[in-house]
Structure 1
């Protein structure tokens, strides 16, 4: 059985990218209803919590941003093939660099406003927690990126990948080295050992990082101009795998055939990781002996690559045909993710002391956030200059799109 790939638009990968970004909205919405954060003075921690939400958070966090960077690498090479190096740089500066600057000065002040509001509601007592929240080490100036860190890291990775490519091309003009890497990755997919080979060096870097907050997985570089090494390695590796997947697109079909095997691997790896670390979310370092620390790091990275390949394979198999709804969500997801955080935090603050079950408040937050984001996208972005600013095009107001 074969699976056709649309050369004009990769609908399946658009769907994966949309799921990764929209999954982040769900992730941030459930954070204050998880047990374990209150003791670390997470200001939005609610009195009504549910342990199952912690597991959901763990699973979403496991794959969403790594999948996003893999898809980004795939489309980066596609753009490079169409536009060349200079064209790619100009395109990425317009679609990534300028939105980072523009939204930073809109989103961050709104987020800070929600923080001021929630601290006023809590008074001077905080949430009653005494434990210390751990963050990756900051190298260089203190720059808080918040949830926009992924845009900054993307720019860093673009620079590093294009510089590395230019260096390789300078002494390997025939493409021998690149072809060798492609063949090695192709063999790893066909032998089904790619999660082990790709996960091992990242797991080692995390194991050797004494500041690693294990339950949170890959440490996001949310602060500073120099990304932490494990985060750069993990997301950079995902980007490069996406780049080479575009070079060898037959591997998308291989993933479509093997998605169920990777799904089993993802479940097994996640189960082992949660067994070692526990299901209670934490913002601090968990004291583990060397063996448990190594097992957890290995299981987490194995599960991460497996779930990425399972999701991509599943999408290639079942979402390869154009769908108006998925196309719309794929187009809207960028705007929705950029703008969602302050809305969610403000709603969480507003509902903080409401005597309602967590499920009611979470449902209200997700419903209100979704309506606001989709409505604002449809009327303020999709058919206006903002559509061009974010995605390079705007849709006619009466086209039915």
Structure 2
């Protein structure tokens, strides 16, 4: 997923992606303890519920996937211009498409086993008479990779079309100038939220509490999430053309963070703290919510990137190790999270304690597996682009894996 050339590797963005991955593990760990969660969305509902889980899921969901897509777009542009179109697509097929297919098969079988075990145990060792059923296609948590499989050829086709129509690259220079102008000041960059807010407003039947709809349940991605994530991916693509803009994002990242917090607070005031699957009927309220949500998404995404550039630009063995392990942890974490949730379901522990246990044990176990068996294997070659000898593992990274 990342650029592995040590001469051009952007360590801050690798670290940002790794931290966003940890937030994703925390989000999935929280779903079992979130009041009002739909069993079709998450079949393991624990008896210990906490509104703090809803708050965490709501806030993390606003910006986490946008960070992934922006970083993916930036690294895609870097890789494309270093290797060319054919080698770029070949690399993306090996590093994205193959892990998607293999990871989905393994994760689906493991998750199915966990759900069956949980149902049988909850029913006194017997298969329930009316088990929950869902014939709905699901790419699970790997829908991010699935959308990238659309965006990579899509951006190359769009690039070829633009160059065919605009041989003097006027449109590219204009786009660079606009992005440079909007990135120069935090409040100016709020204009970048306009296309996102408009797309959300135009989405019929928008379940507003969950923000950008998850495009992981159909072979053809829905138009609105595909547009939004493609737009953010495109911002990352353009951002790689002007690395000086990363320094601009780093200078006032805190102001963007506060702007996003205000916008997210407005969204919570309108949608409520408890998860809801209702849609918005009043066009004025829907428009106001879409504007606030778009501002929160853009502000927090840029603030997250800027904060990483500001504080995580220096490579350390721990950050480099976590960055390398992040792809493996992303692919493999969901069955581990669900297995731990199912195992702890009968325990009378508070939901917050269970959540913390699931998150920490998942991260620690996946880091241990990565260091001992994945990193020096063909799986490490597939995910990281190279195999590392087991002796080359930095001891500080292993000992600090809970961080």
Aligned to 2:302: 309
Tell me by how many angstroms 1:274 deviates. Answer: 0.4
Which residue is 1:137 aligned to?
none
The answer on whether the counterparts of 2:31 and 2:57 sit within 8 Å (CA) in structure 1 is yes
CA contact (8 A) 1:142 1:225 kept: no
Query: Aligned in 2, Cα 1:389/1:194: closer, same or farther, shift over 3 Å?
Result: farther
| Counterpart-to-counterpart distance in 2, 1:264 and 1:366 | 27
Return the offset for 1:301: 1.0
CA offset at residue 235 of structure 1? 0.7
What are the ranges of 5 or more consecutive residues in structure 2 without an aligned counterpart?
1-5, 395-403
Q: Report the equivalent of 1:199.
A: 193
The alpha carbon displacement at 1:347 in A equals 1.5
Q: 1:347 — aligned with what?
A: 340
Deviates more, 1:196-205 or 1:222-231: 196-205
2:253 is the alignment partner of 1:276 = no
Matched, 1:254 2:245: no
**1:245 match:** 239
C-alpha contact 1:185 1:194 (8 A) present in aligned 2: no
2:261 matches 1:267: yes
From the superposition, tell whether residues 126 and 189 of structure 1 become closer, same or farther in structure 2 (CA, over 3 Å): farther
Q: Which stretch of the first structure deviates more once superposed, 39-48 or 206-215? A: 39-48
Q: Which residue matches 1:138?
A: none
CA contact (8 A) 1:36 1:281 kept: yes
Q: CA deviation at 1:7?
A: 5.4
Does the aligned pair in 1 maintain the 2:13–2:308 contact within 8 Å? yes
Distance (Å, rounded) in 2 between the aligned partners of 1:348 and 1:39: 14
Does the C-alpha gap of structure 1 residues 173 and 58 become closer, same or farther in structure 2, counting only changes over 3 Å? same
Q: Determine whether 1:89 maps to 2:82.
A: no
- TM superposition shift of 1:34: 1.3
2:369 to 376, 386, 397: 376
Q: State yes or no: 1:31 paired with 2:31.
A: yes
Q: State whether residues 20 and 68 of structure 1, in contact with CA within 8 Å, keep that contact through their aligned partners in structure 2.
A: yes
Q: What's the counterpart of residue 175 of structure 2? A: 181
Cα pair distance change 1:215/1:397, threshold 3 Å: same
Counterpart of 1:144 in structure 2 is 138
TM-aligned CA deviation for residue 89 of structure 1 = 0.5
1:330-388: per-residue Cα shift (whole Å, max 9, x none)?
10011011011111112111221222211222232223212221111111111122211
String of CA shifts for 1:16-73, please: whole Å, max 9, x gaps.
1111222111100011111122687853111211111211111111111110000000
* Distance in structure 1 (CA, Å) of the matches to 2:281 and 2:229: 25
**Cα distance, 1:198 vs. partner?**
2.4
Deviation at 1:142, TM superposition (A): 6.0
Query: How many equivalent residue pairs?
Result: 384
Distance 1:112 1:211, change over 3 A: farther
> Is residue 289 of structure 2 the alignment partner of residue 296 of structure 1?
yes
User: Paired residue for 2:202, among 199, 208, 214?
Assistant: 208
Output the TM-score relative to the length of structure 2: 0.90
**Hey, what does 2:45 align to over in structure 1?**
45
2:3 corresponds in structure 1 to none
Quote the residue 1:110 is aligned against. 110
TM-score by length of 1: 0.90
Q: Distance in 2 between matches of 1:313 and 1:87?
A: 30
Paired with 2:130 and 2:312, the residues of 1 have a C-alpha distance of 46
Evaluate the alpha carbon distance shift between residue 277 and residue 288 of structure 1 in structure 2; reply closer, same or farther with a 3 A threshold: farther
In structure 2, the residue corresponding to 1:27 is in which secondary structure? helix
Q: Distance in 2 between matches of 1:219 and 1:180?
A: 31
Pair 1:7–1:242, CA change in 2 (3 A): farther
SS in 2 for 1:247: coil
Structure 1: gaps spanning 5 or more residues: 1-5, 134-140
Mapped contact 1:257–1:313 kept (Cα < 8 A):
yes
Q: 1:182 and 1:192 mapped to 2: Cα distance? A: 17
Equivalent residue of 1:398, what SS? helix
2-structure distance, mates of 1:80, 1:40: 39
Deviates more, 1:45-54 or 1:111-120: 111-120
Q: Is the 8 A contact 1:383 1:397 kept in 2?
A: yes
List per-residue Cα deviations over 1:75-112 (Å, max 9, x = no partner).
00100111011111011011001111111111111112
